[in-house]
Amino acid sequence: MHGPIRVITVEREYGSHGAEFAHDLAARLGWKLYDSELVTGAARAAGVSAEQAKKYDDRLDPWYYRYGKVFWQDSMYYSNGPCDEQVFDCARMYALIRQEIVDAAKTGNCVLVGRGSAFALAGHPGCFHIFVYATMAAKKDWFAQAFPDKADRAEQELIEADKRRAAVIKRFYNQEWCARSGYHMLLNSCMGTEPMIAAASAAAGLRVQEAVHSS
């Protein structure tokens, strides 16, 4: 970590409440949160709509698109077609997101959610990387409440979502998304948000504001 922690990244399994934890942690630290902001920032840099960019979030371009792109890029030497910077796809978006992550880390005092933040900042001083997971039973309960019309497919949907996230990390960072070696701390969200915040802040050497309890 090499010095005081100024950046926390939170990778998370789908349905683990990892994003909610990251939001609460940022609020308690008084830090800036980057979640969907990473996607909208990439969209802004590319000059496309946020709605278009969201379609590429936690996704890879289809294999046939990537295969065809090889020939398209080769043809660039013989034509005046658009350059890579003029085409918006998953590869372009994640290149822009990576720059958003690096820029945010330079400013510091921020919590970054997913999108390969832990890998984009691997080895950077002042960064603390967390992976949030949960039991399948807990994730299925969440999914059934969030998507009651698809409750019978909960486990399949959860597994497929995590496979997509893992594939993105493998493709753009050549790393294993859920490998323990990529993180400073692994947290089971079944322990609850308050214990998670207490554990993360203590491990990172940070002080958080007291929780506000409504009467």
Checking if the pLDDT of 75 tops 70, the result is: no
> Across the chain, what does the average pLDDT equal?
85
Structural domain span for residue 146: 7-204
Model pTM score: 0.84
pLDDT attached to residue 93 = 82
CA separation for the pair 14, 101 (Å, rounded) = 21
Q: What is the CATH number of the domain that holds 134?
A: 3.40.50.300
Compute CA 74 distance to the chain's CA centroid, rounded to the nearest angstrom: 32
Question: Does any domain span residue 130?
Answer: yes
CA separation for the pair 186, 200 (Å, rounded) = 9
Q: What is the tally of structural domains in the chain? A: 1
4-52 pLDDT, tens digit each: 999 999 999 999 999 999 999 999 999 999 998 998 898 888 888 888 7
Q: What percent of the chain has pLDDT over 90?
A: 65
42-69 pLDDT, tens digit each: 888 888 888 877 777 766 644 334 444 4
The mean pLDDT of 177-191, rounded to a whole number, is 95
More confident: 54 or 72:
54
Question: Does any domain span residue 111?
Answer: yes
The mean pLDDT of 75-94, rounded to a whole number, is 59
Do residues 21 and 189 touch, judged by C-beta distance below 8 A? Answer: yes
Question: Does any domain span residue 16?
Answer: yes
Question: Does any domain span residue 131?
Answer: yes
More confident: 185 or 1:
185
The mean pLDDT of 156-168, rounded to a whole number, is 93
Do residues 83 and 33 touch, judged by C-beta distance below 8 A? Answer: no
Question: Does any domain span residue 212?
Answer: no
More confident: 64 or 74:
74
